Amino acid sequence: MKQHGYYGLDTGLGCLPCNCSTTGSMSDDCSEEGQCHCVPGVAGKRCDRCARGFYAFQDGGCTPCDCAHTQNTCDAASGVCICPPHTRGVACGECEDDHWGYDPELGCQACNCSSEGSASHQCDVLTGHCQCKPGFGGPSCDQCSLGFRGFPDCVSCNCDLRGTLVDTCDEKQGLCSCAEETGTCSCKENVLGLQCNECRAGTYALHADNPLGCTPCFCFGLSQLCLEAEGYVRMPITLSSDQPLLRVVSQSNLRGTTEGVYYQAPDVLLDAVTVRQHVRAEPFYWRLPGQFQGDQLMAYGGKLKYNVAFYSSNGMGTFNLEPQVLIKGGRTRKQVIYMDAPAPENGVRQEQEVGMKENYWKYFNSVSEKPVTRSDFMSVLSNIEYILIKASYGQGLQQSRYSEASAI
């Protein structure tokens, strides 16, 4: 059982005396934390000193300060009106220079801005954050900011964003962190150099959107070394209005037909009723013409773009699950690869954009869901036999439109 004037029974240390001041407390009891119950104007765990706004602790408590102009702050012994530490003004209501965080009882705190890293000794009066020079950071500007190292000099890391690991960089600022002592940046797998600006042997083309940094060389087994071709500009391969009509084919009938196919600027369109008389299996595909065949290695890393629209009695159906784009190619070994994407909406023209890199493509009629390997993808691009783009979606296809095919 707890006795009067003691606390701490539940701590396991036994009962401890409250030791409340006989003059400053209302009783000899205290809380479970040992806090005595003070009379007005008295403070402290034992109720043995004056609270803020009072002075002259003695029998019967403390006397109120008569200091309205200093936020009722006075000397605890004499009652002389004083300002809280590091405050100023007629009413002691603001911080002195180089201080912040005004409190009517505690006063203000020193900014402590670094002389090396801060542009001023004065900090923000609400947050205490100092104004840092370029390359410096932290609340007191006493450390280097992202992309700099070696306080107090804080020299630039100069990491190349293209070859540096994304999680060590801030793309918006264009800066990356580096090792404090050596200045070495954290390079992607196929990149090296102090600033991560060089491709490893056997790779080329340093690019920011490549998670490996540089692309492995593909030289048909003749060499492991290559260089990025310079002085080239991507030019689109496009459909033109004066060329023969596109053929409509299926996966089982690659010759297909042009019956029921019409040119209606700027679209090529098919009438499904007529096409079905010549191509029995569905879904239908548009077969791209000769300029999209043969050696298309220079298309690597570019985009295949086209517009498509379909009109069906029902926009949902099993045809939506079939591959959206099929490519067959290769030299000694022909392969078919495919790219899939969500079906467009029924009756809505939609632009499609397909990345011409291996990670966007998979093997057709394969149990594996793994992306195509780089060597297989390059082999297909080196000798394309056909590119098919799906024309049939939903159920009860009536018409399909296709336009603006380009590979860049």
Angle at 67 between CA 66 and CA 73, to 5 degrees: 110
**What is the CATH number for 178?**
2.170.300.10
Rg, C-alpha atoms of the chain: 39
Domain match, 304 and 329 both = yes
What backbone phi and psi angles, to 5 degrees, belong to 355?
A: -75, 130
Q: Are residues 187 and 275 in the same domain?
A: no
Domain annotation covers residue 132: yes
Question: How many CB atoms within 10 Å of residue 102?
Answer: 19
Q: Are residues 277 and 245 in the same domain?
A: yes
Same domain, 253 and 351: yes
Mark whether 260 and 388 lie in a shared domain: yes
Question: Do 298 and 395 fall into the same domain?
Answer: yes
First and final C-alpha spacing in the chain = 87
DSSP 8-state secondary structure symbol assigned to residue 211: T
How far, in whole angstroms, is CA 143 from its chain's centroid? 25
Helix, strand, coil share of the chain (percent; to 5): 10, 35, 55
Give the domain-ending residue among 16, 49, 70: 70
* C-alpha dist (Å) from residue 244 to 270, 289, 292: 14, 8, 14
- Biggest CA-to-CA distance, the chain: 113
Clarify whether residues 94 and 56 are in a common domain: no
Same domain assignment for residues 63 and 192: no
138 within some domain = yes
Residue 1 located in a structural domain: no
Q: What is the pTM of this model?
A: 0.58
- Same domain? For 401 and 274 the reply is yes
- Please give the Cα distance from 406 to 408 (Å, whole number): 6
Residues 6+ apart with CB under 8 A from 188: 163, 164, 165, 196, 210, 211, 212, 213, 214
Instruction: Tell me: do 381 and 363 sit in the same domain.
Output: yes
d(CA 265, CA 258): 17
Asked whether 360 and 339 are in contact (CB, 8 A), the reply is: yes
Half-sphere exposure of 359 (CA within 13 A, CB side): 7
DSSP states of 275-317: HTTT--SSS-EEEP-GGGSB--GGGTTSEEEEEEEEEEEES-S
Which domain-ending residue is among 107, 129, 156? 156
The number of beta carbons lying within 10 Å of the beta carbon of residue 176 is 25
AA letter at 161: L
What is the DSSP-derived secondary structure letter of residue 185?
B
CB half-sphere exposure, 391, CA atoms < 13 A: 33
Residue 313, pLDDT score = 93
For residue 49, give the CATH number of its domain: 2.10.25.10
Give the three-class secondary structure for 22: coil
| Three-state secondary structure string covering 217-258 | CCCCCCCCCCCCCCCCCCCCEECCCCCCCCEEECCCCCCCEC
Q: Retrieve residue 406's tokens.
A: 């380009």
**pLDDT confidence of residue 298:** 83
Within-domain flag for 78 = no
Rounded Cα gap, residues 347 and 30, in angstroms: 79
Q: What CATH number should be reported for the domain holding residue 357? A: 2.60.120
Report if residue 116 sits inside a domain.
yes
Residues 341 and 277 in one domain: yes
State how many domains the chain has. Answer: 4
Domain boundary among 182, 198, 231: 231
165 belongs to a structural domain: yes
Residues 318, 392 share a domain: yes
Question: Between β-strands 118-123 and 130-132, what pairing exists: parallel, antiparallel or unpaired?
Answer: antiparallel
Q: Residue 186: which of 164, 207, 218, 206 has the closest Cα? A: 164
CA distance 9 to 2: 7
In a domain, residue 272? The reply is yes
Mean pLDDT by 10 residues, the chain (408 residues): 78 84 90 91 92 86 87 88 88 91 90 96 96 96 96 96 96 94 96 96 90 85 73 57 83 95 89 96 93 88 89 90 94 91 90 90 90 92 94 93 72
In a domain, 76, yes or no: no
Domain range enclosing 33: 6-70
Whether omega before 244 lies within 30 degrees of 0, making that bond cis, reads: no
